[in-house]
A and B are shown apart, each in its own frame.
Chain A
């Protein structure tokens, strides 16, 4: 069986960010799930158990930080790494980050290439083949 593509949940209320992120990740062989706010993101994450989450910070209808907190407290999603995109004005303290699954912060405007590199880095511990083996 062909290895299962890693699935990334992208949570952002700005369609152009989702569009670009989706393009970048799909052309790199990832499968992309999308949600437009933290509330939906949480539901999708719990239902689909993606391999990683890329989320915006501030969104109407549940912000990304709150979602990351709740992902951490839910046993089935606690280990899903999260990359958070933030505007420069939002400074998060290490103590705050420690209570979430946020593994990396990226400032907006972000470089899609760098996002892809970070994701690959975060996921390389359990690469595509491993996931395929498990799925098989």
Chain B
């Protein structure tokens, strides 16, 4: 049933040959895959003297190698009418074993050559004839046919064994191709993890290490203007380096210099390269490039197993992986560019508001910061907290539409003036509503002035009708307003602000969020207030 390799259950099969003498009743010699004789003919004297003689050993020795290797499959004629017929097979371990059968024609025992042999071995021909009779197949034509038949079968078996070996190789190669395809397929799917480049590179090394027989796989990034944050000068290693990591880092820099000097080789040999010599092994290197510049290298060394030489398959896979690293690098850079363009636009918007009202300078950033802290305290995920942060940055964008005179007015506002102020959430909503990347922030922008008791604006929503993002913004928004100097009043001390928030929990604020808010750590917030004051002084 088995097409490939061994089966433990069939381990007994290998010994089947040892029953040949009894079952076939002929004289046989047995050889293992290494050509060592494992059994010899059981024959009584005087035949044993000839069969076990050194001349017989020499004849066997000169043929066994070719018979085992399949180079020769035909019988060997000892003398006219006496043949040594090889029959080989594959044992349970996949190795070729050999049995050599002596087949004689009846006439051979009467031939002058037979007489000579008897003389050479100083045996009586009559006794020898009687002993050798069991090798004789009659009639003579039958002996010839059996010899030819066995020889032919042996040739067929040898060629089948070759085809079988080729099929085994093919299966092995196909399995390797499967590994490669599955690896590359998985990698290309993971390439979207642009937020955590190091994680992607680490995962890539891990998978390569799992797939290839190298003791270590490493990615070394070099200092470069094209480096990405989090990866510059990084050395990511999977497996065991045969030398300390800092040394590797230094040596691999030279390697990349060599590439730049157009002296690149994909396989470093121990006798010509310092790193390979330290490792005591070949090292396969594939460059990672971006925009025609080398930004790093993917290295694999100390291959283990039977064949420690690098293979084309290894090199192809490493090359493909290095290509993916380059493409990933490009994606990360593009993504960063997009993100900074986006954040730049957002900052430009809020800067416009800051420019109109110096009292609120830095307000959006501080609200954003506290809102993120509160979101995390309320057990929202990192990603959601980031969105809350962004909503904080843009929440007051609508103040662009409020006249400066009203924003900066020191005294109490008239109803009409206050209506202008109250329009800013809706104005903000309208400014941002066509930006798809901000769609999820809109509820925060529109409703951050709603109150828990329904007395807020613009819609008068109450309780949990108010979107969570808006409830998360309302607390830091009021907190920062109370903590800052305003045109109409000076800043309140921290204790007073927190007391006010506690008092307004359940009326103005979501009570659960309010109780979390008052326990936040405000040290970073205070540092931001300091920074913004400093910037104000500088601007003035």
Question: Any chain A CB within 8 A of the CB of B181?
Answer: yes
Per the bound structure, the CA–CA distance linking A3 and B183 in Å amounts to: 35
Residue of B nearest to A19 (CB): B171
Q: Are A31 and B1 in contact (CB under 8 A)?
A: yes
Given contacts A16-B174, A113-B211, contact A2 B12 (CB under 8 A): yes
- Specify which chain A residues have a CB less than 8 angstroms from the CB of B174 in the assembled complex: 16, 19-20, 23
Among A16, A26, A29, A109, the residue within 8 A (CB) of B182 is A109
Within 8 A of A (CB), among B1-48: 1-9, 11-12
Among A19, A31, A109, the residue within 8 A (CB) of B9 is A31
Q: Are A111 and B183 in contact (CB under 8 A)?
A: yes
Question: Any chain B CB within 8 A of the CB of A112?
Answer: yes
Question: Any chain B CB within 8 A of the CB of A5?
Answer: yes
Among B7, B12, B183, the residue within 8 A (CB) of A5 is B7
Per the bound structure, the CA–CA distance linking A135 and B13 in Å amounts to: 19
Among A4, A23, A29, A111, the residue within 8 A (CB) of B172 is A23
Question: Any chain A CB within 8 A of the CB of B185?
Answer: yes
Per the bound structure, the CA–CA distance linking A110 and B185 in Å amounts to: 9
Please count how many residues in chain A sit with their CB below 8 Å of the partner chain's CB atoms: 21
**Closest CB-CB distance, B175 to chain A, in whole Å?**
5
Question: Any chain B CB within 8 A of the CB of A70?
Answer: no
Question: Any chain A CB within 8 A of the CB of B403?
Answer: no
**Closest CB-CB distance, A1 to chain B, in whole Å?**
9
Among B5, B9, B178, B183, the residue within 8 A (CB) of A27 is B5
Question: Any chain A CB within 8 A of the CB of B179?
Answer: yes
Per the bound structure, the CA–CA distance linking A2 and B11 in Å amounts to: 8
Question: Any chain B CB within 8 A of the CB of A22?
Answer: yes
Given contacts A109-B185, A112-B179, contact A23 B168 (CB under 8 A): yes
Among A2, A3, A26, A112, the residue within 8 A (CB) of B178 is A112
Among B8, B171, B210, the residue within 8 A (CB) of A20 is B171
Residue of A nearest to B92 (CB): A2
Q: Are A29 and B6 in contact (CB under 8 A)?
A: yes
**Closest CB-CB distance, B8 to chain A, in whole Å?**
5
Per the bound structure, the CA–CA distance linking A2 and B12 in Å amounts to: 9
Within 8 A of A (CB), among B181-200: 181-183, 185
Per the bound structure, the CA–CA distance linking A29 and B92 in Å amounts to: 12
Q: Are B178 and A20 in contact (CB under 8 A)?
A: yes
Binary flags per residue of A21-54, CB closer than 8 Å to B gives 1, else 0: 0111011010110000000000000000000000
- Specify which chain A residues have a CB less than 8 angstroms from the CB of B2 in the assembled complex: 26, 31-32
**Closest CB-CB distance, B320 to chain A, in whole Å?**
14
Among B7, B168, B178, the residue within 8 A (CB) of A109 is B178
Within 8 A of B (CB), among A93-112: 109-112
- Specify which chain A residues have a CB less than 8 angstroms from the CB of B168 in the assembled complex: 23
Among B5, B11, B181, B210, the residue within 8 A (CB) of A26 is B5
- Specify which chain A residues have a CB less than 8 angstroms from the CB of B210 in the assembled complex: 113
Q: Are B178 and A111 in contact (CB under 8 A)?
A: yes
Per the bound structure, the CA–CA distance linking A2 and B2 in Å amounts to: 17
Residue of A nearest to B4 (CB): A26
Per the bound structure, the CA–CA distance linking A40 and B419 in Å amounts to: 77
**Closest CB-CB distance, B356 to chain A, in whole Å?**
52
Per the bound structure, the CA–CA distance linking A113 and B175 in Å amounts to: 9
Among B4, B7, B211, the residue within 8 A (CB) of A23 is B4
Q: Are A23 and B178 in contact (CB under 8 A)?
A: no
Binary flags per residue of B49-80, CB closer than 8 Å to A gives 1, else 0: 00000000000000000000000000000000
Among B1, B6, B171, B182, the residue within 8 A (CB) of A111 is B182
- Specify which chain B residues have a CB less than 8 angstroms from the CB of A24 in the assembled complex: 175
Q: Are B182 and A110 in contact (CB under 8 A)?
A: yes
- Which residues of A does B touch, CB under 8 Å? 2-5, 16, 19-20, 22-24, 26-27, 29, 31-32, 109-114
Known: A32-B1, A111-B179. 12 other contacts (CB 8 A): A2-B8, A2-B11, A3-B8, A4-B9, A23-B175, A27-B4, A29-B6, A111-B183, A112-B175, A112-B179, A113-B211, A114-B182
7 contacts between A and B (CB under 8 A): A2-B12, A16-B174, A20-B175, A24-B175, A26-B4, A109-B185, A111-B178
